[in-house]
Structure 1
Amino acid sequence: MNTSVNKLFYLQINLSNRLQTSMKQAKLLFLAVAFGWATAANAQTDLKKPIPMDPKVRYGKLPNGMTYYIRKNEEPKKRAELYLINKVGAIQEEDKENGLAHFTEHMAFNGTKNFPKNELVSYLQRAGVKFGDDLNAFTGQDQTVYQLPVPTDSADIFNKAFVVLEDWAHNITFEGAEIDKERGVILEELRGGKGAQQRMRDKWMPILVGDSKYGKRNVIGTEEVLKTFSHETIRNFYKTWYRPDLQAIAAVGDFDIDQVEKMIKERFGSIPKAVKPRPLGKFPVADFKGTRVAIVTDPEQPYMLAQVITKLPKAEEKTLGDSRESIKRNLFNQMLQARLQEQTQQANPPFLFGGAGYGGFIGDYDSFINIAVAKDGNLERAVKAVLDEGARVKKFGFTDTELDRTKKQLLTATEKRFKEKDKTKSASYVNEYMGNFLEESPIPGIEFQFEFVQGQLDGITIAEINALANKYLVADNRTVLVLASEKDKAKLPTEATILEWINGAGKDVTAYVDKVVNKPLIENLPAAGRTVSTKQIPEIGVTELTLSNGVKVVLKPTDFKNDEILIGARSQGGTSLYDEKDFMSAGMADAVVEESGIGEFNTPALKKYLTGKVANVSPFVGENEEGFSGNCSPKDLETALQLVYGYFTKPRKDDDIIKGFLTSQRSAIQNRNASPSPEVVFQDSLSRILGNNNFRRQPISVERWDMINPDRAYQIYKERFADASDFTFFFTGSFKVDEVKPLLEKYLGALPSQNKKESFRDLGIRTPSGRLDKKVYKGIEQKSQASLIFSGDYVYNEDNNWQLDALEEILNIKLIEVIREKESGVYGIGARASYSKTPAPRYTVRIGYGTGPERVEELATKTLAVLDEIKKNGATQVDIDKFKAETRRSMEVQMKENGFWQNQLIGAYSIGENPVDILGWEKQLNKVTVESTKAAANKYLNDANFIKVVLLPEKK
């Protein structure tokens, strides 16, 4: 989080961060977008029929038991997503193998039959596949998945990709020296995960799952096993569990399906069938009566929260009737969460965050989870507020108007996916097939889903939805987890008190009243403006309009998506124009309005009004500029423009909502600073140092937060958006210029204009020059972080920008090769180069890594030695070729994405650069040479301006 801006503090309370994410949870994220699968549906659909499989996927099983999924898909063109999916994870490990499923995943990149040692990563980098971003893998408790995105326009690379998949499937070599070298990397990964969440998890997990094996496998393993397991132990684990009957190949992309099926049959069909295969096993979580409670504290836990988790039987998804039940669960979740969200928009919200809903759990179980994060330490009020809302539903039910809105919302989301069916990325399909193999989740295709949802929604009654509360809100198999800071231990309730709260939920609740504003969003619109000039930039397909009030509009129609228009706007000024006493108010100007709403619509009413529409627009006030960002469906462009018009001319200041927002965030800041994590302290220190201790770069504190004056913030917002004449708007996506021009003239042309031109103010905030070595002491775990920072003045132009980008990626390639792979000193290390033209041309190169305190200085020295080698000799031609291949492949894809063009256009126009320059990327790429990287390294890795900041554990 950028603590110098401090707009909103999002508390990411996510059970899956503490329970190893299962494929079921990943699947539920997908279902949240579009539930329901099936056939051409109507109210008479036979719900007993099985859910069909999408005919566009070729599904098969080889004689040895291996499953495959193949689909032709041309988004992105000349690319394919290839996955090897293994139905094995940490849950299959014996005690002496704890962590070896994950270790096996690492070894897949450290030597196979056809790619010795690190040659696999190097080969794929040369083919344009970026390690980490593209080439990757993950391990969970029930699965291990390898992902390989590759180009298909090279037959050699595409064919070799299947060699890689086969090697992963049964030809990892597990050389002893490579195993021992990788121990250090994984021990550093283990170290990096240590902290308050891990320490608390170790205490509450056994209470949550009892004696189940799920409570004894954390995926990463234990330090003892990782250090001492024998080479033969991991080789045996691989031989036992990596076998065809537990594996699937998913291949989706721009290729010939028949050819790919033939390759799969020939290459993978020859893998021997397992002889006397060991069963996967079942690992139950025992039922129990009543409610269990776990109260856990830690000195580095920043906030007080409670989770009420009720274990439920896993919902089957085999028949069309099951699909209908999925729709009902989705509707129930959305309506309940909407009510809880509404509670945060009060003068005195009961919690910082409240959540509830049906979802995945672990293994063969689902759950209903309530989450409440206490405000001002009042855990009782937070817990009761969340539980009371569930009890209110159980007692009185949802309303018809809530259900109607939520149905409309679900149908809109499903329809959007249907409209994009020929523009869906291959990775999306691969994830569906992964869910089918691992969790038996259905894959009927969006055509079936859309028709089924259309056919079933009307017939789902409010009584059906309300009946779900009795299934989910039950008293058995229920666990309450209370997590808090050690300093708050004395304030925490007893187990008996918590049970009183739980069992007394809903005692005094009354029926929910659904308040809706039945008015147009915008009334009494002034006369439309007109287009006074038009300019074409045919090289990049852009049209510039200048409207009669001075507003400039940049339009780029594309066919990259069928149902997407991206919206942006920029005007110079921002918070830089306000002095320090107004800095915090200026920084919160946009939040004060966005939290309040538009005209007669407060935020809850505005959300209800927008139900069924895809129109999202948010104002912002940054340091050097203000503007808008958003997106919409082409059919809802007028609504999006109404939102823009409303935020300009009718910004609302709702005193109750603002008061609630400010007090909630104040409480979050108080929690953050009372028990800060080592990472927070480290980032705060970096912010101070890199901001040269300027007032505007200080970390957030309660004292700074209290400087916010809502009235002044509102006044500043109106000042920033009083004059539209120096705004430039950007629209990229699925539209035709002639068709949208009347709407642009109607709304943007009617915006107020004073014909003044403003600029930002250079505040003179610069990273300090010279050399600085700073140590920060925080934390009880034996782990450290280091940041090595070079900075200075910069000549901003395309040549320098491309050379600095090249230097960044070459540093990443070399640092991973040396510091991670050769030295086994880190799990992750990376370089990040940034440059800017405003407020003054400056650059920064920052290198960061985590390791043990005993090695942090040694690795800093070795990192600088890597840099010195490049300064002395330039990058190797091999690494330059890797950078060029990765960039070419990346640019080929990005040039067909709305987001890329929107960002390029906004960036170019905002700093007065020529947007056509992006077309010269290939020419710029060819300028990267051994000599140019040597020159760039010497210019930008200048020891004269060097800052090193190191985080170390607290001194005992």
Structure 2
Amino acid sequence: MKALFLSVCLGCTAVFLQAQSVPKKPAAALPPVSTNLNKPIPFDPQVKTGKLPNGLTYYIRKNTEPKNRAELRLVIKAGSVLESDAQLGLAHFMEHMAFNGTKNFPKNELVSFLQTSGVRFGADLNAYTSFDETVYQLPVPTDSVRLFERAFQILEDWAHNITLDPVEIDKERGVILEEWRLGRGAQQRMRDKYFPLILNNSQYANRLPIGKEDIIKNFKPEVLQQFYKDWYRPDLMAVIAVGDFDIAKVDNIIKEKFGRIPAVTSPRPRTEYSIAPHPDTKVVILTDPEQPNTVVQVITKRPEIKERTLNDLRESLKRSLFNAMLGNRTEEVKQQADPPFAFGFSSYGSFLGNLDAFTSVAVPKDATDVERAIKAVLNENARVQKFGFTATELSRAKQELLNGVEQDYKEQNKTRSSTLVGQYVQHFLNGQSSTGIAYYYEFVKKNLNGITLPEVNALVNQFIADTNRAVIVMAPEKDKDKLPTTDQILSYINNTGQNLTAYVDQTVNKPLLAKAPTPSPVTSEKKIADIGVTEWTLKNGIKVVLKPTNFKNDQILFSAISKGGTSLYDLNDLQNARFASTLISQGGTGEFNQIQLGKFLAGKSLIIYPYISELDEGMNGLASPKDLPTALELLHSYFTQPRKDPDVVKGFLSNQRGLLANQLATPTPNKVFQDTVEVTLGNHNPRRYPLQPQDLDQIDLDKALKIYQERFADASDFTFFFVGSFDEKKIRPLIEKYIGGLPAGSTHESFKDLGIRAPEGQISKTVYKGIDPKSNVQLVYTGNFSWTPENATQVDALAEVLEIKLLEKLREEESGVYGVSASGSYSKYPAERYSFRIGFGCAPENVDKLVNKTLELIDDLKKNGADPKDIAKFKAESMRDTELQLKDNDFWLDYLTNQYFNGDDLSEVLHETEVLNKVTPESTKNAAKHYFNSNFIKFVLFPEKK
């Protein structure tokens, strides 16, 4: 029956869901922005909403990005906070069971059916359970009527037709226990102690979604059935559909399928739990042997701000401005030669239950620096309280906020459905406003300038209070005796703001480039028509590759790449080379330090950063079309005007050294394990050793600057790439000026093959670290590779079919893992090599059994090849992925960069279908024999022996 069912679905004719014969209706009229701020916030007119007689709410929005796709959600306004004492963890368990059998999709047929349709389990098909809600997400193609309607059948089944087979429940216990096991560690142990304090022993403090181990192991099926009956009911549900479809047809489908769910006649009251305030400041100081760094949080809770009226919307703009300005100030503190913290911030936002919170976080370099770190963060709050922000700060913050909203407005017809659907989920769950970007943009333009500096400054007195406050200090166990006492912490907090001076807003009123570059014209042009690419060669020898697209209205992505990288430097200069781009970027550029540069660029949509990796160096960036001239000016400056700032670098290295020292003194089990993996695969080459504090002592800023200049001063061997919303004729003068104006000699370097290869033969590495009863397994195969598209696809196919089988065997049959991954990677440079990794977490006592099961599956692939049904899933997923990628700027920038770097055929992406057709059971059998070879390393992490 399963095979027949799938073949029927696959055999149905693809039909677009748009009703082509019906004239398109005009877009819903945009409500005018009212001057009466007491009016309610209007809801997006492009969304059709309704409520069925049984109480179910629905939202439908047509959106054509991406084409032939839809995002579906089933939202249940019920989560772990509603569990009884006998149900702890069963809200989450219920979510799992939705994938383990429904009326129309027995056992695991639901996942299999969707995989065959190109929907990946985990990456696409997924769900989550929180305190107050459970949300199921289902992205589906819309170019098949049959498939699209079946997707709504899945949602309906989740709503009231989950079978809850006792056999499947027992199998899923082990899976959830493995998920619970993965979450164990220092963070979990400390969270279990501080949650009752910060949540004031409310219902939330005792209802973590993962639940209790003994209940997960032992609950009776009827207890889970009762949760499903009580809370999965239409008056607590919403169905949300956003995508490329006909609204009327989706409306009919929802009414037909969800209208037949019976209303609950005597529903159990859905209690709205709250977190009661407390008049004092609660302090908790926690240590753990596996906590690597000290972290201090100060949380001031206050009643949640609901956005219901236009005035509430205006108030939200004020909070955004406040957070942005305070964040910029705190970031500036890190630019000192001896910064008081490694990381710190303060921000106002949502919290939990009925609360918002103003939260300040400080990460000191070590436990002896707690007082200095938290005082420095809180002093910035107090500085605002005492002196306020400045007019110039507010002006920049307004520019940046308006620019961000304007960008969203310009992209309104290119916004992905996955972005929109989340707004309607939150509207249903908590009434979060969703006006639509067109209305919101007009609202911001109309109201932003009217927000005054005194208004924003006044917020700080609302946010900072000495009541309903909690302080959490988390630190390594080894530093327990170095930590301040509760009384000392309270004194730090209560006595901040002493001897403060007003903030001085330092800016530079100069151009980025003192002298305009001398342009270099395009001397030759080459068209690669089949992929819409143009290649220019400039007079100075630099090559520029352009792909204009209409995938985004306001986005241009660009990169530059040149071979060389850190491979050209010996071990004595390795750290200088590795950190050169980071250290020089922190210095700013030209006459602008990093802080001044940030202020200069405020309100502009652009990002640029240089990098130096092992085999190459380059720059990556993005800009809106209007800000591309500034972006290219900055790019030119990074090439020609590197700037060193000794104080900033000293502070950065000091922070990094302190954090590293703490991590090495109290390494987490996963860090020790991953370091072992990487060092072993690097054959103990010193370049693959984990970074040590003494490595940072080798860094010399002058040498780093010299290396940066060596990598970027001569641009002749760089290739530049531009993808996005531009016209070649209009962008040409800019490229000729700023890239053509780069110094370019005749240097044409390549990287150096350092000879780093994974060791050959069979190796087993066991790491004993950690106190929790959990293990981590990685199985790695490596070897030489023949670089062809066909071979790359065979590796991809082998990884996918193996992962499908591993999930079936290790998770569904053995209940031994929560997740398992199988991935293949391959590279052309510095040598043609491949690496195949299989990884999972499990109970220590199950390691040998699960490894043996994995090796049995690999042996089966070697003998018989892949199941044709799994190959079909791989092909469907690959084709669906490519459909989306071909309409994505990020994909094209990466693709073009890699194809040029590797010297590969630029039209390779157009031949995917014929390459995929070469994947067969026989080809996967041959691939398994070749890639799962004798070069095999088994890594296992066990807890420490007692």
Q: Same fold (TM over 0.5)?
A: yes
Q: How far 1:687 sits from its partner (Å)?
A: 1.1
Match 1:614 to one of 576, 589, 605: 605
| Matching residue of 1:155 | 145
Stretch deviating more after TM superposition (342-351 or 165-174): 342-351
1:243 aligns with one of 233, 256, 281: 233
Q: 1:526: how far off?
A: 3.1
Query: Which of these residues, 783, 787, 793, is aligned with residue 774 of structure 2?
Result: 783
Which of 648, 671, 677 is matched with 1:657 structurally?
Answer: 648
Structure 2 residue 319 is matched with structure 1 residue 329: yes
Does structure 1 conserve the Cα–Cα contact (< 8 Å) formed by 2:295 and 2:362?
Answer: yes
**2:551 is aligned with 1:567:** no
Q: Is residue 2:722 matched to residue 1:731?
A: yes
SS in 1 for 2:382: helix
Q: CA deviation at 1:832?
A: 1.1
1:115 aligns with 2:115: no
Q: 8 Å contact 1:788–1:847 — kept in the other structure? A: yes
Q: How many residues align?
A: 916
Cα separation, 2, equivalents of 1:576 and 1:558:
35
* Aligned mates of 1:676, 1:226 — CA distance in 2: 31
Q: In the alignment, what sits opposite 1:288?
A: 278
Give the counterpart letter for 1:693 in structure 2: H
Kindly state the Cα deviation for residue 290 of structure 1 after the two structures are TM-superposed.
2.4
- 1:917 is displaced (CA, Å) by 1.1
The DSSP-based 3-state class of the residue aligned with 2:581 is helix
Structure 2: distance between partners of 1:282 and 1:526? 64
Q: 2:938 aligns with which of 940, 943, 948?
A: 948
User: Which segment is superposed worse, 202-211 or 575-584?
Assistant: 202-211
Is 2:432 the partner of 1:438? no
Q: Quote the residue 1:464 is aligned against.
A: 455
TM-fit CA distance, 1:706: 1.7
Paired position in structure 2 for 1:343: 333
* 1:214 equivalent in alignment to 2:204: yes
What letter corresponds to residue 559 of structure 2 in structure 1? G
Is the Cα contact below 8 Å between 1:39 and 1:451 reproduced in 2? no
- What residue is the counterpart of 1:642 in the other structure? 633
**In structure 1, C-alpha distance between the alignment counterparts of 2:32 and 2:390, rounded to whole Å:** 29
Q: State the partner residue of 1:124.
A: 114
Q: Does 1:839 align with 2:830?
A: yes
What SS does the aligned partner of 2:907 have?
helix
1:683 aligns with 2:677: no
CA distance in 1, matches of 2:440, 2:642: 39
- SS in structure 2 opposite 1:544? strand
Residue 465 (structure 2) aligned to one of 457, 466, 474:
474
1-structure distance, mates of 2:682, 2:816? 30
Name 1:534's counterpart in structure 2: 525
Which residue of the other structure, out of 218, 225, 229, is the alignment partner of 2:219? 229
- Post-superposition CA distance 1:673-701 (Å, at most 9, x none): 11111001101111110100000000111
Letter paired with 2:134: T
Shift of 1:560: 0.4
CA contact (8 A) 2:200 2:278 kept: no
Match of 1:494 in 2: 485
Q: Which amino acid aligns with 2:211?
A: G
Partner in structure 2 of residue 367 of structure 1: 357
| 1:285-328 Cα shifts (integer Å, max 9, x gaps) | 12111211000110111111110001111101000000000000
- Which residue of structure 1 lines up, in the alignment, with residue 808 of structure 2? 817
Post-superposition, which runs of at least 4 consecutive aligned residues in structure 1 deviate over 3 A? 38-41
Whole-Å separation in 2 of the counterparts to 1:362 and 1:673: 34
What amino acid maps onto 2:618 in structure 1? G
* Superposition pairs of residues 26-425 of structure 1, within 5 angstroms: 40-41=32-33, 45-377=35-367, 378-425=369-416
Which amino acid is the alignment partner of residue 774 of structure 2? K
Q: Secondary structure at the match of 2:179?
A: helix
Letter in 2 for 1:816: L
CA contact (8 A) 2:293 2:366 kept: no
1:33 alignment partner in structure 2: none
Q: Contact 1:573–1:625 at 8 Å: present in 2 too?
A: yes
**Structure 2 unpaired stretches of 5+:** 1-29
Tell me the residue number matched to 2:888. 897
Q: Which digits, 9 at most, give the CA deviation of each residue in 1:126-159, with x for residues without a partner?
A: 1111111110000100110000011111111001
Can you give the 5+ residue segments of structure 1 that lack an aligned partner in the other structure? Answer: 1-37
Deviations 1:157-210 (A, max 9, x none): 001001100000000000000000000000000001000000000111111112
Indicate the larger mover: 187-196 or 375-384.
375-384
Correspondence for 1:702: 693
Supply the AA of the counterpart residue of 1:208: I
Cα contact 2:782–2:833 (8 A) shared by 1: yes
* Equivalent AA in structure 1 for residue 848 of structure 2: E
Identity %: 55
Question: What is the rounded CA distance, in whole Å, between the counterparts of 1:149 and 1:418 in structure 2?
Answer: 24
Is the 8 Å Cα contact of residues 560 and 619 (structure 2) preserved in structure 1?
yes
**Does residue 906 of structure 1 match 2:897?**
yes
How far apart are 1:376 and its partner, in Å? 3.3
1:595 aligns with 2:586: yes
- Whether the aligned pair in 2 keeps the contact of 1:39 and 1:449 (CA below 8 Å) is no
* TM superposition shift of 1:40: 4.1
TM-score, normalising length: structure 1: 0.95
Alignment match, 2:495: 504
Asked whether the 8 Å contact 2:200–2:277 carries over to 1, the reply is no
Task: For residue 91 of structure 1, give the secondary structure of its aligned residue in structure 2.
Answer: helix
Q: Which residue identity is paired with 1:518? A: N
Cα offset, 1:409, TM superposition: 0.2
Shift of 1:39: 5.6
Aligned 8 A contact 1:89 1:139 in 2: yes
Maintained 8 Å contact 1:39/1:452: no
Q: Give the counterpart of 2:862 among 853, 858, 871.
A: 871
Helix, strand or coil at the partner of 1:619: strand
Task: Name the SS of the counterpart of 2:384 in structure 1.
Answer: helix
Contact 2:75 2:133 in 1 (8 A): yes
Question: How many Å separate the matches in 1 of 2:748 and 2:347?
Answer: 50
Higher RCO (C-alpha under 8 Å, 6+ residues apart): 1
Query: Could you tell me the TM-score, scaled by structure 2's length?
Result: 0.96
Offset from partner CA, 1:726-763 (integer Å, 9 cap, x none) = 00000000001111010000000010111111000000
Letter in 1 for 2:486: E
CA contact (8 A) 2:299 2:360 kept: yes
- The 1-side partners of 2:695 and 2:647 are apart by 21
Q: Contact 1:307/1:371 (CA < 8 Å) preserved in 2?
A: yes
CA deviations 1:618-664 (Å, max 9, x no partner) are: 00000000001111101111111111101100010011111111111
Contact 2:37/2:311, CA 8 A, preserved across alignment: yes
Structure 1 Cα separation of the partners of residues 558 and 659 of structure 2: 31
Task: Indicate yes or no: 2:426 matched with 1:426.
Answer: no
Deviations 1:780-831 (A, max 9, x none): 0000000000000110111101111111111111111111111111001001
- Is the contact made by 1:66 and 1:244 (CA closer than 8 Å) also made in structure 2? yes
* Coordinate RMSD, CA, aligned: 0.8
Equivalence for 1:7: none
Shift of 1:380: 0.5
For the 8 Å contact 1:40–1:452, the answer to whether it is kept is no
Q: Which amino acid aligns with 2:423?
A: E
Q: How much does 1:284 deviate?
A: 2.0
User: Does the residue aligned with 2:845 lie in a helix, a strand or coil?
Assistant: coil
* Matched AA of 1:132: G
Question: 1:644 & 1:912 partners in 2: Cα distance?
Answer: 25
What is the CA distance between 1:705 and its match in structure 2? 2.1
Secondary structure, aligned partner of 1:725 = coil
For residues 320-358 of structure 1, what are the alpha-carbon distances to aligned partners after superposition, in whole Å with 9 as ceiling and x for unaligned?
A: 000000000010001001100111111111101111011
Structure 1, residues 240-283: CA drift from partner, whole Å, max 9, x if none?
10000000000011110000001100110110001211122122
Structure 1 residues 545-584: aligned runs within 5 Å = 545-584=536-575
Q: Distance in 1 between matches of 2:89 and 2:861?
A: 37
Aligned match of 1:27: none
Output the amino acid matched with 1:430. Answer: V
